[in-house]
């Protein structure tokens, strides 16, 4: 279970994401909301890359108390992925796979699923936006994460990859993986068995269907 309590992330501009308490059971959870409503801000905090106040706990592992342990159990793909442009996807995979104890079979399977074999040896700086997104998704799925946080996962990837990703999310959710997904694209989301839908509005999250 993912538990968020007394959560606050405030920017110098005064914009603040505020959540008193939120408990997410296993399954696929979807957050929608207008541009600038605070979705990515929340996901970055949950991914452990944004400082925040309050408590985030995944299955008894407190993000602030055990940040490395927490981050090793989650996967995160940001909306507009950025990587050091001189590294190849294979270089990035090696680093993440070592930290998350992913084996070669898992790596091969993920690369094959996302059709990345043809470009994984080239520098990331030469990638198209779709290749970058596929790279971020592969890295997010490595190491059997318990929670996968996907910020706009369906943008820039082609229809075949969207379908592949949808099936992968369904399969892993059926095995007990928790997903937290944002998307402005409704059709791939409509094909997912969503457990909970939330609306983010001006930094406030409400249950919505
Ligand atoms: N690093 C940052 N520093 C300061 N302000 C930020 C930062 N990141 C986001 N913001 C501000 O926080 C607010 C929420 O942004 P956020 O990216 O979380 O929205 P979002 O709901 O993900 O939007 P979108 O749908 O456009 O991706 C916006 O006003 C944005 O300008």
For the domain made up of 26-52+60-207, give the CATH fold.
Answer: Rossmann fold (3.40.50)
Rounded to an integer, what distance in angstroms lies between the CA atom of residue 76 and that of residue 33? 19
Q: Which atom of ligand 1 is nearest to the CA of 33?
A: 21
From 17, 18, 33, 37, mutation site for ligand 1 pocket: most ligand atoms within 8 A of C-beta: 37
Q: Is residue 35 in contact with ligand 1, taking CB distance under 6 Å?
A: yes
Q: Which atom of ligand 1 is nearest to the CA of 40?
A: 22
The pLDDT value given to residue 172? 96
Tell me what the mean pLDDT of segment 14-28 comes to. 95
90: left (phi over 0), alpha (psi -120 to 50) or beta: alpha
> How are beta strands 74-77 and 147-151 bridged, if at all?
parallel
The pLDDT value given to residue 185? 84
Task: Place 6 in a pLDDT band, splitting at 50, 70 and 90.
Answer: very high
What is the percentage of the chain residues whose pLDDT exceeds 70?
A: 100
- State pLDDT tens for residues 101-156: 999 999 999 999 999 999 999 999 999 999 999 999 999 999 999 999 999 999 99
The pLDDT value given to residue 124? 97
**Rounded to whole angstroms, what are the CA distances from 21 to 4, 30, 68, 73, 165?**
6, 17, 23, 22, 30
User: Closest Cα to atom 8, ligand 1: which residue?
Assistant: 41
Tell me what the mean pLDDT of segment 85-99 comes to. 97
> How are beta strands 204-207 and 194-201 bridged, if at all?
antiparallel
Residue 95: pLDDT over 70: yes
Residue 186: pLDDT over 90: no
| Cβ neighbourhood burial of 76 (10 Å; 0-12, 13-18, 19+) | buried
Question: What are the sequence ranges of the domains in the chain?
Answer: 26-52+60-207
> How are beta strands 53-58 and 2-10 bridged, if at all?
antiparallel
Please count the residues of the chain: 209
- Between the CA of 120 and the centroid of ligand 1 the distance, in Å, is 31
Sheet holding 178-182, edge to edge: 61-62, 53-58, 2-10, 16-24, 204-207, 194-201, 28-32, 178-182, 147-151, 74-77
Helices (H), the chain: 39-46, 67-72, 89-100, 104-113, 129-141, 159-174, 186-190
Shortest CA distance to 108 belongs to which of 97, 123, 124?
A: 97
Rounded to an integer, what distance in angstroms lies between the CA atom of residue 129 and that of residue 134? 9
Predicted model pTM: 0.96
Tell me what the mean pLDDT of segment 192-197 comes to. 93
User: Closest Cα to atom 29, ligand 1: which residue?
Assistant: 36
Task: Place 100 in a pLDDT band, splitting at 50, 70 and 90.
Answer: very high
Q: Is residue 36 in contact with ligand 1, taking CB distance under 6 Å?
A: yes
The pLDDT value given to residue 163? 93
Q: Which atom of ligand 1 is nearest to the CA of 200?
A: 21
Give this complex's ipTM: 0.98
The pLDDT value given to residue 190? 87
- State pLDDT tens for residues 148-177: 999 999 999 999 999 999 999 999 999 999
Q: Is residue 11 in contact with ligand 1, taking CB distance under 6 Å?
A: yes
Rounded to an integer, what distance in angstroms lies between the CA atom of residue 114 and that of residue 134? 6
Q: Is residue 33 in contact with ligand 1, taking CB distance under 6 Å?
A: yes
Average confidence score pLDDT of the chain: 95
- State pLDDT tens for residues 39-70: 999 999 999 999 999 999 999 999 999 999 99
């Amino acid at each position: 279970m993912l538990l968020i309590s007394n959560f606050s992330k405030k920017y110098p501009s005064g914009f603040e994401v505020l959540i008193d308490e939120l408990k997410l059971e296993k399954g696929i959870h979807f957050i929608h909301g207008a541009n600038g409503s605070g979705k990515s801000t929340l996901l970055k905090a949950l991914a452990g890359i944004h400082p925040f106040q309050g408590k985030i706990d995944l299955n008894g592992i407190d993000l602030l108390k055990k940040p490395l342990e927490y981050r090793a159990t989650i996967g995160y793909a940001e909306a507009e992925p950025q990587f050091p442009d001189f590294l190849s996807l294979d270089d990035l995979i090696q680093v993440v796979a070592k930290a998350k104890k992913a084996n070669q079979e898992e790596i091969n399977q993920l690369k094959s699923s996302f059709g990345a074999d043809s470009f994984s040896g080239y520098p990331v700086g030469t990638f198209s936006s779709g290749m970058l997104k596929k790279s971020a998704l592969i890295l997010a799925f490595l190491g059997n994460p318990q929670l996968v946080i996907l910020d706009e996962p369906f943008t820039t990837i082609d229809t075949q990859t969207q379908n592949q990703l949808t099936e992968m999310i369904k399969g892993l959710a059926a095995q007990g993986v928790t997903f937290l997904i944002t998307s402005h694209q409704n059709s791939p989301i409509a094909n997912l068995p969503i457990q909970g839908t939330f609306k983010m509005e001006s930094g406030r999250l409400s249950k919505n269907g």
